[in-house]
Amino acid sequence: MAAFLLRRLVTRLVLAVLAMSLAYVLAAAALDPRAGLEGRAPRPPEAVVDARLTALNLNDRTPLADRYLTWAAGVVRGDFGRTWDGEAVNAELWRRLGVSFRLLVPGAVLGSVLGVLLGAYAAVQRGRTADRLICLGSYLLVAVPVFVSAVLLQIAASKVNGVGGVRVFVWVGESTVGASHGVLGGLADRARHLLLPTVTIALAQLGVYCRYQRATMLDVLHADYVRTARARGLRRRSALLRHGLRTALTPVTTYFVYAFGVLLLGGIYSEKTFGWHGAGEWLVDSIARGDVNAVAAIVCVAVCGVVLAGLMADVLQGVLDPRIRAATA
Residue 135 CB neighbour total at 10 angstroms: 17
Q: What CATH number is attached to the domain comprising 249?
A: 1.10.3720
Q: Mean pLDDT over residues 204-214, rounded?
A: 88
pLDDT in the model for residue 72? 93
Q: For residue 151, which amino acid is it? A: V
The answer to whether position 15 is within a domain reads: no
Model pLDDT, residue 183? 54
pLDDT at res. 298: 92
Please tell me the predicted confidence (pLDDT) of residue 178: 52
- Mean of pLDDT values over 136-153: 88
Say if CB 200 and CB 262 are below 8 A apart. no
Overall average pLDDT of the 41-70 stretch: 88
Indicate whether 10 belongs to any domain.
Answer: no
Residue 266 has pLDDT above 60, yes or no: yes
Model confidence band, residue 248 (pLDDT cutoffs 50, 70, 90): confident
- Report the helix count and the strand count for the chain, using DSSP H and E: 14, 0
- Per-residue pLDDT of 92-137, as tens digits, reads 999 898 888 888 888 888 998 999 899 988 988 888 899 999 999 9
Domain for residue 124, yes or no? yes
Lowest mean pLDDT among 67-71, 81-85, 133-137, 233-237: 233-237
The reply to whether 264 falls in a domain is yes
Any domain includes 182: yes
Percent over 90 (pLDDT), the chain: 14
Q: What are the C-alpha distances in Å from 90 to residues 74, 136, 204, 293, 296?
A: 11, 44, 30, 10, 12
- Does 167 reside within a domain? yes
Please give the tally of structural domains in the chain: 1
What pTM, to 2 d.p., does this model score? Answer: 0.80
Nearest-5° angle of CA 184, CA 188, CA 189? 120
The answer as to whether 107 is a domain residue is yes
Q: Is the pLDDT of residue 149 over 50?
A: yes
206 is a domain residue: yes
Among the listed ranges 19-28, 303-312, 315-324, which one has the minimum average pLDDT value?
A: 315-324
Phi, psi of 275 (to 5 degrees): 70, 30
Range of the domain at 160: 93-289
**pLDDT score of 6 more than 60:** yes
Mean pLDDT, the chain, rounded, equals 82
If one counts every other C-beta atom within 10 angstroms of the C-beta of residue 256, the result is 20
Among 5-14, 215-224, 318-327, name the one with the lowest average pLDDT: 318-327
User: How far is residue 286's CA from residue 8's CA, in Å, rounded to a whole number?
Assistant: 33
Q: How confident is the model at residue 179 (pLDDT cuts 50, 70, 90)?
A: very low
Q: What are the Cα distances from residue 166, in Å, to 169, 195, 196, 250, 275?
A: 9, 16, 16, 46, 21
Residue 74: the pLDDT is 92
Other Cβ atoms within 10 Å of 24 Cβ, number: 23
Residue 182 has pLDDT above 60, yes or no: no
